[in-house]
Amino acid sequence: MNRVDGTFRVYRVFSAVPHLNLVDVAADRLYTVYESGYPDDRQRVVDDLSTGDLLDATVEGDPDAPDDPWRLVDPEPEPEESVSVDFATGVDYPPVARETWARAREAAGDDPVEPAGRTLGADGAAGEVWVQPRDAFPDGAFTRRAATGLVPLEPLFRGLPRADAPASELLVVDADEPGTSRHTEPYGVLMFFTAAGRDLADEYRERLDLPRGADSRPDFDPY
């Protein structure tokens, strides 16, 4: 049995599967851990975890049994460095996302194969929007998990270079519903907002019908 101490980002919390995906942010390694079966005090912490949360913890498991989840030990959430993550599916893309894709396509001369981003807000301090091509993923999926994909999530969570500030929230936007066999758009959208961009984030939340505090997680995990 191995024990690994580190700082972990929560990248999957949803009811369909009784496990959590944690990524060791220093080692960039994914751990799947049990979501239940802990002592009461630890279980309360686990029950309160959401996608985007950061925590200091120890994980315990057998690296020679890759199909067996690990167990979470001594989790200590870090709310100041956590990011609120919400999902909008089956929606129209905001104009700023369409413009970002159009610019990237014009620069590439065709559908781009790399993600492209731009700032949000008049001075760029509100955040950044990124468009991610689907063609890079099996079956045309936008992203398989929030931990995967071409857009480097963890570095952007830690600090949006154009805004010179960390992200405080992320809106994951997909024109199609999870599990669709055909896609309306050849890209997906990630909208990062800083604390200074909260008002702008609220405007986009209203457009996308993503009220704060609502559970926007899909019924299964396509991201």
User: In the CATH hierarchy, which top-level class contains the domain 2-82?
Assistant: mainly beta
As a whole number, the mean pLDDT across the chain is 87
Distance CA 124, CA 132 (A): 20
pLDDT digits (tens, 9 = 90+) for 59-106: 999 988 888 899 999 999 999 999 999 989 889 999 999 999 999 999
- CB proximity list for 217: less than 8 A, separation 6 or greater: 13, 14, 15, 51, 87
170-176: average pLDDT: 91
Contact yes or no for 81/97 (Cβ under 8 A): no
Q: Both tokens of residue 172?
A: 């994951």
Q: Which residue has the higher pLDDT, 14 or 218?
A: 218
Whether this prediction's pTM lies above 0.85 is answered by yes
Region of 144 please: left (phi>0), alpha (psi -120 to 50) or beta.
alpha
**Closest Cα partner for 63 from 30, 36, 37?**
30
Mean pLDDT of 7-20: 77
Span 111-170, pLDDT tens digits: 888 899 999 998 889 999 999 888 656 665 554 444 456 788 889 999 998 888 999 999
**Domains of the chain: which residue ranges?**
2-82, 85-208
Q: DSSP labels for 122-160?
A: TTS-SEEEEEEESTTSGGG-S-SSTT-SSS-HHHHHH-B
